[in-house]
Copies of this chain bind each other. A is one copy, B any other.
Amino acid sequence: MTAGDTSNGPSSRITIHPVTGMGEVRAGDDLPHLIATAIRQSGDTIMPGDALIVTQKIVSKSEGRWASLADVAPTAEAISLAEQVRKEPRLVEMVLRESTAVVRAAPHVLITRHRCGFVMANAGIDQSNLGGSDPDRILLLPLDPDQSARALRTGITALTGVAPAVVITDSFGRPWRHGVVPVAIGAAGLPSLIDRRGEPDRDGRTLAVTQVALADLVAAAAGLVTGEGAEGIPAALIRGLSLPQGDNPAVALVRPLEEDLFR
């Protein structure tokens, strides 16, 4: 068979489509329009049941989440922490402003609890692939990524008549594994966390694995086409998911610090 053959039944397969050709996204750009246009110009159409995965960077850019380190006066706390982690004091100041707690500080490592709840490096502040040469320019996470996902879903629905699930992704490191993986920081129109507590397994025992981070699986799958770094593919469509009932946002994936079972 060929790659295009669907004799196995297209319903049983999942396809991941890169969304390309959007160009550089600027503050104030109508992101639903840019995405819908890019999909249409590639000869594709958003279909019922599709999930649209969008990387954080273009969401932040469209929302104008820029800042310049040139405008930042670090506090004494930031200066002291910057010395400890060997990072730029003005960047550390911005990380602290975006965070509610420092989780880990060590040379070249600054892990914080972002104000949205996510535990991540440098509060998700971007300094690469920003489309400019100003070394002081930084890009913050969207103000409320779940709200950004809902707005994207509403905008795409208004333009196309179809309401895809939407997941906004960013790349996270992990404590005990090398390398980053994309995870969901915003979501709408799907259950980000599937709760199967109480369901029986195939032998009638209670299932050991009871909660599945569906939005993170979707984020990682899209990462296979959006890649990291130089590729510049900012979004993907995933088709053929059998999405379970339910709708909970990416913040449902946040485990409160006091519940942190691994420390």
Contact = CB atoms under 8 A, between A and B. Distances in A.
Copies in the assembly, this chain: 2
A21 to B, nearest CB: 11
A11 B179 CA distance: 26
Nearest to A195: B179
Given A129-B201, A208-B127, A229-B199, A177 B171 contact: no
A180 B212 contact: yes
Contacts of A143: none
A73 interface: no
Contact of A16 (B106, B219, B221, B228): B221
A67 interface: no
Interface residues of A, number: 96
A16 to B, nearest CB: 4
A1 B176 contact: no
A219 to B, nearest CB: 8
Interface of A: 1-8, 10-18, 20, 42-45, 47, 103-104, 106, 109, 111, 118-119, 126-133, 135, 171, 173-183, 193-194, 196, 199-209, 211-214, 216-221, 223-225, 227-230, 232, 238-241, 252-255, 257, 260-263
